[in-house]
């Protein structure tokens, strides 16, 4: 019983560490709001014919989207200067935290100076805002690459290093997390500066969250188990934590569809 109570306390702690992406979206179209609420007829959205050729799909999108909207944004997306400007505008609009994604090519080609310079430029654009640097570790191929990328980003001024966007084929894993956490520990020992850690994607159960909490406790200590230095990015995790806590109280698991985020 004592162990169960301890586990329950830890699960409550996980609530404070849980970071749910994109909860601040505002809908500006009543049509979109109706569709998301399920108030639509699916037959209205069935195409007369299926298009599977990716080149044809891209061509149709390019000709159908107005130049001053998404098409313009997509064309400019590869511009580093544009991304820096977007960060500056976000900070000017009041953003207190900024997530940036590194260029994986710098890592895969061993161009650590380019990675440092890129991250440093983002750091300067963020100003006083908190900067979380996403390594997209599922694309980096080796743990050595993960460690080197972590070092470069921390030296360039990252406040947090984050495993992934959650959209890669491979997201947060314990071997990757251990690698990143140990670079954080060594960086803190050498510089005295504390960098936060955020595993994102793939942490979908309370048991998985406990593994990451234990990892932080064993490798970095209690200080790194607070939200200012550790967060978990996984929207689906919230439901499982709620279900585990309800089981502790009632002895029964609730159905996932009873929760806000199944």
pLDDT, position 106:
94
Q: What is the largest CA-CA distance in the chain?
A: 64
Is 40 among the domain residues? no
- Mean pLDDT to the nearest integer, 205-213: 87
How far, in whole angstroms, is CA 115 from its chain's centroid? 19
Asked whether 198 and 160 are in contact (CB, 8 A), the reply is yes
Residue 206 has pLDDT above 90, yes or no: no
Is 141 among the domain residues? yes
Residue 98 has pLDDT above 80, yes or no: yes
Average per-residue pLDDT in the chain? 80
Looking at the whole model, is its pTM more than 0.75?
Answer: no
* Helix or strand holding residue 157 (H, E): none
* Locus of tokens 């990675």: 115
In 222-249, which positions are buried (b, 16+ CB within 10 angstroms) versus exposed (e)? eebbeeebbbbbbbebbbbbbbbbeeee
Is 51 among the domain residues? no
Among 180, 207, 178, 174, which Cα is nearest to 10's? 207
- Residue 81's pLDDT band (boundaries 50, 70, 90)? confident
162 labelled catalytic? yes
Q: What is the CATH number of the domain that holds 217?
A: 3.20.20.70
Is 184 among the domain residues? yes
- Residue 260's pLDDT band (boundaries 50, 70, 90)? low
3-class secondary structure, 23: coil
- Mean pLDDT to the nearest integer, 48-60: 63
Structural domain total, the chain? 1
Is 38 among the domain residues? no
99 labelled catalytic? yes
pLDDT, position 145:
96
Is 48 among the domain residues? no
Residue 231 has pLDDT above 80, yes or no: yes
Question: What distances in angstroms separate CA 192 from CA 21, 189, 195, one per listed residue?
Answer: 30, 6, 10
- Residue 146's pLDDT band (boundaries 50, 70, 90)? very high
CB-based contacts of 247, cutoff 8 Å, min separation 6: 253, 254
Residue 204 has pLDDT above 70, yes or no: yes
48 labelled catalytic? no
Structure tokens at 181: 């956490």
Is 112 among the domain residues? yes
Percent of the chain with pLDDT over 90: 44
Is 57 among the domain residues? no
Sign of CA dihedral 36, 202, 11, 245: positive
Give dist(CA 230, CA 195) in Å, integer. 9
How far, in whole angstroms, is CA 147 from its chain's centroid? 18
- Single out the catalytic residue among 132, 162, 167, 240: 162
pLDDT, position 246:
78
3-class secondary structure, 199: coil
- Single out the catalytic residue among 48, 99, 139, 207: 99
Give dist(CA 200, CA 101) in Å, integer. 13
pLDDT, position 205:
82
Residue 220 has pLDDT above 50, yes or no: yes
Provide the residue range defining the domain that includes 238: 70-258
pLDDT digits (tens, 9 = 90+) for 173-203: 999 999 999 999 999 999 999 999 999 887 8
- Single out the catalytic residue among 44, 198, 207, 217: 198
User: Which of 27-31, 87-91, 125-129 is predicted least confidently?
Assistant: 27-31
């Amino acid at each position: 019983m004592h162990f169960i109570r301890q586990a329950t306390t830890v699960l409550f702690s996980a609530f404070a560490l849980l970071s749910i992406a994109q909860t601040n979206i505002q809908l500006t179209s009543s049509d979109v709001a109706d569709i998301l609420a399920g108030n639509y007829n699916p037959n209205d959205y069935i195409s007369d014919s299926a298009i599977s050729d990716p080149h044809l799909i891209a061509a149709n999108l390019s000709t159908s989207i107005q130049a001053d909207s998404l098409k313009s944004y997509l064309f400019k997306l590869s511009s580093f200067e544009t991304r820096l400007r977007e960060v500056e505008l976000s900070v000017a609009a009041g953003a207190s935290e900024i997530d940036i994604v590194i260029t994986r090519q710098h890592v895969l080609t061993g161009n650590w100076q380019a990675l440092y310079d890129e991250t440093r430029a983002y750091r300067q654009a963020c100003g006083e805002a908190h900067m979380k640097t996403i390594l997209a570790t599922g694309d980096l191929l080796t743990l050595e690459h993960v460690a080197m990328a972590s070092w470069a980003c921390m030296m360039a001024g990252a406040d947090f290093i984050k495993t992934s966007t959650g959209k890669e084929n491979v997201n947060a894993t314990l071997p990757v997390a251990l690698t990143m956490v140990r670079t954080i520990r060594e960086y803190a020992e050498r510089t005295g500066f504390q960098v936060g850690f955020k595993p994102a994607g793939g942490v979908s159960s309370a048991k998985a969250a406990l593994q990451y909490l234990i990892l932080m406790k064993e490798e970095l200590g209690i200080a790194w188990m607070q939200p200012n230095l550790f967060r978990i990015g996984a929207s689906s995790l919230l439901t499982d934590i709620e279900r585990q806590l309800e089981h502790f109280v009632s002895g029964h698991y609730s159905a996932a569809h009873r929760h806000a985020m199944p």
